[in-house]
Amino acid sequence: MDPLCYWPVAATRENIDRFPASGALRLRARAAIPGGAHTYAKGDDQYPLLAPGFISKGFGCRVWDADGNEFIEYGMGLRAVSLGHGFGAVVKAATEQLAQGTNFTRPSTLEVECAERLIEMVPGAEMAKFTKDGSTATTAAIRLARAYTGRNIVAMCSDHPFFSYDDWAICTTAMDAGIPLDAMRLTLGFRYNDLSSAEALFAQYPGKIAALILEAEKEVPPAAGYLTGLRELCDRNGALLILDEMITGFRWPKCSAQRYHGVEADLSTFGKALGNGIAISALVGKSDIMKLGGLDHDRDRVFLLSTTHGAETHALAAALAVMDTYRDRPVIDTLHRQGDRLKTGVEASARRRGLANHFKLAGRTSNLIYTCLDGDGAPSQIFRALFLQETIRRGLLAPSLVVSYSHSDDDIDQTIEAIDGALDVYRKALEDGPENHLIGRSVQPVFRRRANPALQPACQMLTDAKANESLKA
């Protein structure tokens, strides 16, 4: 029996056979790793059935999957790889340091140099401490704010849904299993660009809020006076202002959204692009707050980011090389120029296809995302899955349209052409239904309460025993 009969819609043997190695690895991954991946945003439920399941290597803005398929990549390691995969200066600095040791019983000299360099780049920052991921850094900022103010409640921007995998932040999502109710009561929410919503929290909980935490800018820029208004509001109420610059750091002009917008946080967190994909993040802030994690004060000490691997020397060397590259090359100008080029071409294609109200771009051009909308103008997971399927078919791996310094004009032109072809299918799907074009199940939101067992897992589709027997025959 022909294996094509096991697919939910018409398919060709060519697109079934394109990912055999990924199909086999999916089954192994789901058996060994919860969800099949170590990062939810990289999981199978975030991609259509016909997608590369595993990446083997990358160089510049291109990646190759386990089956040898080549793609122009966007998103670049969840925005961590701003310079490009295998970027020479960063690889050289990290590998040279690896040969000299990565972890010692006393601090490395690089810890001082890297901290001083980062402090210079962040307005108002006077001290820094390194760790490995964004969640650890933001949680350290929350603990420090609670200790400094003597208060327990924190307020996070409800329009910026992910600050940390720790209880104080994840308790606000649908995936709150395992988090005590008492912890949930200590996190409040306020709306971006709505100063009155933050004012209302301070009025409702006078003298109890330790800090506000938000991104200075996400898809929507701050309204005039909003960030300075938050700064003044925190000052009046004795709370700290924490800005999460995991994404905006090293992508916004001047390498910092708060510097660009002219506001100073009490504490800030950086990461992602800081190591160009090598694990390093940082908490920076004013010395009178940060020193509570040190020795030069007479208050109760805060256990602040004491990790075995937090200051591995190869990661610090990589960060220094990244900062050197940003100093010596027009990295951020290039990100914006290529993002502008990409946005112009994609929006022109969407208008030409009659999809301006169904496929929309948002965000600063150095950090573009897209939204897929159905015939009624509502955000649609099935149309997102179809768009991903069709761009993958045309050589793109684009969960977003976030560019890197390595994206050339030719890469951008190829991308615009591929997206134009995908949007042609999108337009047809608006007419006769996306289920007539999408092979397999839709993608799903990361933050959902149940895994939805009604959906057939991708690994089961790709490793269906009967289909495999037929393919062998």
- For the stretch 190-247, pLDDT in tens is 999 999 999 999 999 999 999 999 999 999 999 999 999 999 999 999 999 999 999 9
- Give residue 41's pLDDT band: very low, low, confident or very high (50, 70, 90): confident
Q: What is the pLDDT of residue 42?
A: 86
Please state which of the ranges 185-189, 301-305, 445-449 shows the lowest mean pLDDT.
445-449
Q: What is the pLDDT of residue 463?
A: 35
Assigned CATH for 3-80+331-472: 3.90.1150.10
- Give residue 161's pLDDT band: very low, low, confident or very high (50, 70, 90): confident
Checking if the pLDDT of 148 tops 90, the result is yes
Q: What is the pLDDT of residue 473?
A: 29
Alpha carbon 445 to chain centroid, angstroms: 14
Burial degree of 252 (CB within 10 A; 0-12, 13-18, 19+): buried
Measured from the Cβ of residue 431, the count of other Cβ atoms closer than 10 Å reads 8
pTM over 0.75: yes
Using a pLDDT cut of 90, give the percent of the chain over it. 79
Q: What is the pLDDT of residue 94?
A: 98
Average pLDDT for the chain: 91
Across 433-450, average pLDDT: 88
Checking if the pLDDT of 330 tops 50, the result is yes
Q: What is the pLDDT of residue 395?
A: 97
Measured from the Cβ of residue 85, the count of other Cβ atoms closer than 10 Å reads 21
Checking if the pLDDT of 123 tops 50, the result is yes
CA dist 292 and 298 (Å) reads 9
The angle at the Cα of 333, spanning 331 to 335, to the nearest 5 degrees, equals: 70
Please state which of the ranges 60-64, 136-140, 181-185, 372-376 shows the lowest mean pLDDT.
181-185
Q: Using the CB atoms, write b or e for 193-211: b if 16+ within 10 Å.
A: eebebbbebbeeeeebbbb
CA dist 109 and 93 (Å) reads 15
Checking if the pLDDT of 16 tops 70, the result is no
If one compares 98 and 176, the residue with the highest pLDDT of the two is 98
Please state which of the ranges 37-51, 279-293, 386-400 shows the lowest mean pLDDT.
37-51
Token pair 């062998």 is at which residue?
472
- Give residue 97's pLDDT band: very low, low, confident or very high (50, 70, 90): very high
Token pair 């991708």 is at which residue?
458
Token pair 């040791």 is at which residue?
101
CA dist 253 and 16 (Å) reads 44
Checking if the pLDDT of 21 tops 80, the result is yes
Q: What is the pLDDT of residue 1?
A: 30
What fold, for 88-328?
Aspartate Aminotransferase; domain 2 (3.40.640)
Q: What is the pLDDT of residue 367?
A: 97
The first and second tokens of residue 370, run together, are 């897209």
Q: What is the pLDDT of residue 446?
A: 82
Across 445-451, average pLDDT: 80
The angle at the Cα of 164, spanning 367 to 232, to the nearest 5 degrees, equals: 75
- Give residue 9's pLDDT band: very low, low, confident or very high (50, 70, 90): very low
Using a pLDDT cut of 70, give the percent of the chain over it. 92
Q: What is the pLDDT of residue 448?
A: 82
Checking if the pLDDT of 274 tops 50, the result is yes
Token pair 């190695």 is at which residue?
21
If one compares 144 and 458, the residue with the highest pLDDT of the two is 144
Where in the sequence of the chain do the CATH 3.90.1150.10 domains occur? Answer: 3-80+331-472
Checking if the pLDDT of 10 tops 80, the result is no
Q: What is the pLDDT of residue 302?
A: 87
Checking if the pLDDT of 95 tops 70, the result is yes
CA dist 392 and 71 (Å) reads 8
Checking if the pLDDT of 405 tops 90, the result is yes
Q: What is the pLDDT of residue 85?
A: 98
Alpha carbon 172 to chain centroid, angstroms: 18
Q: What is the pLDDT of residue 443?
A: 86
Where in the sequence of the chain do the CATH 3.40.640.10 domains occur? Answer: 88-328
- Give residue 452's pLDDT band: very low, low, confident or very high (50, 70, 90): low
CA dist 193 and 213 (Å) reads 13
Checking if the pLDDT of 12 tops 90, the result is no
